[in-house]
Amino acid sequence: MGGAATRDAFGTAIVRVGSDERVVVLTGDLRDSTRTEKFAETFPERFFDVGIAERNMLGIAAGLALSGKVPWAASFAAFVAGRFETLRVSVAYQEANVRIVGTHSGTGVGDDGYSQMALEDIAGIRALPNVSIVNPCDAIETERAVEYLLDHVGPAYLRLTRQKVDDVNAEGYRFEFGKAVQLRDGNDVAIFGTGATVQEALKAADSLAQGGVTARVVNAHTLKPFDEDAVLRAAADCRALVTVEDHSATGGLGSAVAEVLATRDGGAPLLILGTTDFGESGSAEELYEKHGISGERVAESTRQFLESLG
């Protein structure tokens, strides 16, 4: 399937949007890991390494944004979303036009283990009233999302992967902020993925198809604002909904879907797949398998869920 890590695509795209003089890039001793090195070489006067001080990075980004810049503060997702108190007051509450870039999201980080994995970032940021969340599923979507975010107004969180992901979208793909993308149609079940689990949702649909189960696959790249209509359409058309995310099963994509189903007319049974424990060392593939978010495990859980519904 080819494919690249979404952090790589960010590194490419940020240089392209960097020709806009408002763009400032910050990182905390992670210019290599966050793929901001090329930007640093191309626009050294607008690149700042703040050292291992992510709270200060978020505050500086807020100050830059309040002075007309479009700052991109990049670090591991665990370290930027983890500085939540600074994020909520200096960025969100101030309505500072900051782009928070979190690479190394989810268990897909792999060998480094739990302390480097953000598994609660979506849950926390989703509770802030005004911070948008974009979790692109592949390189092309990441590049389009970065281009979109350049002129987006308001704080936004861009969630990226360390590991390579499949190319889900074709060349020419158009990113529409806030609009989920239906990748495949089906009526038995709708599987919603986000970020790196969109490819797993597709694999699960392939596996289910062998058993005669047709699965709709939806790429929920924007988690906030959330595309409620996509959920309601799926609930109307399919017997059940399944969500799969490389994030805690509490507070992320699954919760966003549950909130729609529970508060609107027309519910549907929902299975939420995500992590329910801390992460650990291992390969991304092994961890996806272990935490039940690999394509095959999603297919298996979906089959059981559908059977349980009778």
Cα angle: 166, vertex 169, 173; to 5 degrees: 150
Closer to another protein by CB, 60 or 231: give it: 60
**Span interacting with another protein, options 6-14, 36-44, 84-92, 163-171, rule CB under 8 A:** 84-92
- DSSP assigned state of 84: H
Closer to another protein by CB, 30 or 196: give it: 30
The question of whether 141 is a catalytic residue gets the answer no
Q: Which of 1, 51, 229, 304 binds another protein (CB under 8 A)?
A: 51
**Region label for 130, one of left (φ > 0), alpha (ψ between -120 and 50) or beta (otherwise):** alpha
Side-chain-side CA neighbours of residue 68 (13 Å): 3
Closer to another protein by CB, 71 or 195: give it: 71
Q: How far apart are CA 119 and CA 20, in angstroms?
A: 33
Determine, following the binding rule CB under 8 A, whether residue 93 of this chain makes contact with another protein. Answer: yes
Q: Which of 34, 36, 75, 86 binds another protein (CB under 8 A)?
A: 86
Q: Which of 35, 46, 99, 216 binds another protein (CB under 8 A)?
A: 46
Q: Output 276-282 pairs: Cβ under 8 A, ≥24 positions apart.
A: 276/248, 276/249, 278/114, 278/119, 279/106, 279/107, 279/109, 279/113, 279/114, 279/117, 279/119, 280/113, 280/114, 281/110, 281/111, 281/112, 281/113, 282/110, 282/111
Q: Which of 13, 25, 65, 205 binds another protein (CB under 8 A)?
A: 65
Determine, following the binding rule CB under 8 A, whether residue 42 of this chain makes contact with another protein. Answer: no
Choice among 21, 41, 45, 54 that is catalytic: 54
Q: Which of 9, 15, 17, 64 binds another protein (CB under 8 A)?
A: 64
Determine, following the binding rule CB under 8 A, whether residue 131 of this chain makes contact with another protein. Answer: no
Q: Given the rule CB under 8 A, which residues bind another protein?
A: 24, 45-46, 48, 50-51, 53, 55-56, 58-69, 71, 85-86, 88-90, 93-95
Catalytic residues: 54
